[in-house]
């Protein structure tokens, strides 16, 4: 019995030392930066967790599209919506001066597209116009909040759609969460506790196909590393303030392990290059720490 206790003490000591080294490396990356940086790490198979500012509520920006996708897919699971149903997108739905690969492809709108394709535009390409369409289909931001509350997602608030956020930078602060909450949501999603197995597989594949944020989590990882992620970025306001430069996701390591990593960079006076480089370097040291 004493040998078993000593063994577990030894293992606990090794894990603690590993966490301490990783925390020091992350702190060295964010040191002296004029920004608030929150980081949460969770190795699923080992159940090793680490967080820095992990309970600090910060703006999500387009990271909230993950929560919206989960809400819509829950309605698909309930047969209230279908991935194959056609949705008419009118020209009035396609606002200008917003990120929209969909509008670039269909500038005049008045085209029918499947719900599946709308979700792919929102999640993989971070399209803002299709996001607001999906929010309306889900029943509004209040319906997204209601589903997250029902699923016991802590420290999450959604009050503004993309159109509202584009009315002024102050509205970027209305949708918030913490990196600890985001990591727990990623774990519950991975464990198929949020939506059905079929919907989980679809959303995982769609997140793996994300084209935005090439300069964040994925930037310094080996090229073929699978990363199912969702990004968010505010750009800079007139004072040079970046309200958010975010990326969250599930990294699959060569050894078969899975790491949830959430990084929220908020209220930064650093350059875009510095902000995104912080996220990329944090992802790199996390990858190296667990890929052993």
Per-residue pLDDT averaged across 238-250, rounded? 97
Answer yes or no: are the C-beta atoms of 64 and 275 closer than 8 Å: no
DSSP string computed for 65-95? HHHHHHHHHHHHHTTSS-TT-EEEE-GGG--
Per-residue pLDDT averaged across 97-103, rounded? 96
Answer yes or no: are the C-beta atoms of 246 and 233 closer than 8 Å: yes
Query: Residue 5 pLDDT > 90, yes or no?
Result: no
How confident is the prediction for the chain on average, in pLDDT? 94
- Of 28, 35, 31, 29, the residue nearest 269 (C-alpha): 35
Query: Residue 149 pLDDT > 60, yes or no?
Result: yes
pLDDT at 225: 97
pLDDT at 70: 98
Q: How confident is the model at residue 7 (pLDDT cuts 50, 70, 90)?
A: very low
Spell out where 85-131 has E strands: 86-89, 111-114
pLDDT at 2: 52
How far apart CA 168 and CA 56 sit, in angstroms, is 23
pLDDT at 16: 55
Q: Which residues are catalytic?
A: 62, 162
How far apart CA 189 and CA 265 sit, in angstroms, is 23
Q: How confident is the model at residue 292 (pLDDT cuts 50, 70, 90)?
A: confident
pLDDT at 9: 47
12-32 residue pLDDT tens? 554 555 677 899 999 999 999
Q: How many residues does the chain have?
A: 292
Angle between helices 64-77 and 197-208 (to 10 degrees): 150
Nearest 5°: the CA angle 171, 172, 173 is 85
Q: How confident is the model at residue 75 (pLDDT cuts 50, 70, 90)?
A: very high
Query: Residue 228 pLDDT > 90, yes or no?
Result: yes
Query: Residue 4 pLDDT > 70, yes or no?
Result: no
SS (H, E, C) 12-45: HHHHHHHHHHHHHHHHHHHCCCCCEEEEEEEECC
């Amino acid at each position: 019995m004493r040998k078993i206790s000593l063994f577990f003490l030894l293992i606990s000591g090794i894990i603690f030392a590993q966490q301490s080294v990783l925390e020091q490396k992350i702190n060295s990356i964010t040191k002296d930066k004029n920004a608030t940086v929150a980081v949460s790490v969770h190795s699923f198979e080992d159940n090793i967790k680490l967080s820095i500012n992990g309970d600090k509520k910060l703006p999500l920006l387009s990271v909230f599209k993950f929560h919206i996708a989960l809400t819509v897919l829950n309605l698909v699971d309930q047969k209230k919506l279908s991935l194959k149903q056609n949705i008419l997108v009118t020209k009035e739905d396609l606002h200008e001066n917003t990120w929209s690969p969909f509008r670039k492809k269909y500038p005049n709108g008045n085209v029918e597209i499947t719900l599946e394709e709308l979700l792919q535009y929102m999640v993989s390409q971070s399209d803002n116009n299709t996001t607001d369409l999906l929010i309306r289909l889900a029943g509004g931001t209040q319906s997204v909040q209601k589903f997250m509350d029902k699923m016991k997602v802590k420290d999450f608030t959604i009050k503004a759609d993309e159109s509202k956020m584009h009315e002024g930078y102050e509205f970027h602060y209305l949708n918030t969460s913490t990196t600890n909450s985001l990591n727990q949501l990623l774990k519950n999603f991975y464990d198929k506790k949020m939506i059905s197995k079929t919907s989980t597989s679809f959303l995982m594949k769609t997140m793996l196909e994300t084209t935005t944020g090439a300069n964040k989590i994925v930037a310094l990882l080996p090229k073929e590393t699978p990363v199912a992620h969702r990004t968010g970025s505010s750009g800079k306001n007139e004072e040079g303030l970046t309200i958010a430069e975010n990326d969250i996701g599930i990294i699959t390591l060569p050894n078969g392990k899975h790491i949830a990593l959430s990084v929220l960079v908020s209220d930064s006076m650093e350059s875009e290059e510095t902000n995104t480089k912080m996220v990329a370097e944090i992802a790199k040291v996390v990858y190296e720490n667990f890929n052993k």
